[in-house]
Amino acid sequence: MCKATQALIDEGVEKGIEKGIEKGIEKGTDRINLLNSILIEQGRIDDLTKATHDPIYQKKLIEELIGKDNKKNK
């Protein structure tokens, strides 16, 4: 494979990785916003406060209220 072709492939891979990272960040933000909205709607302000400081608790709440595969956000 010539250097020019390899450079194009490498550039495509790099752009694909960047796009995947951006989508992952967006999905994570959407999940946190959904969790926050649910907790506010349910009046669970203490849980909301704790979740902002405790990522393990936040993950537990996401699994409990949204689901592991995020079906409620589709």
Q: The pTM is what?
A: 0.74
Does position 70 have pLDDT exceeding 90, yes or no?
A: no
Token output for 61: 């709440």
Task: List pLDDT tens digits, range 16-54.
Answer: 999 999 999 999 999 999 999 999 999 999 999 999 999
Phi, psi of 34 (to 5 degrees): -65, -45
CB 8 within 8 A of CB 39: no
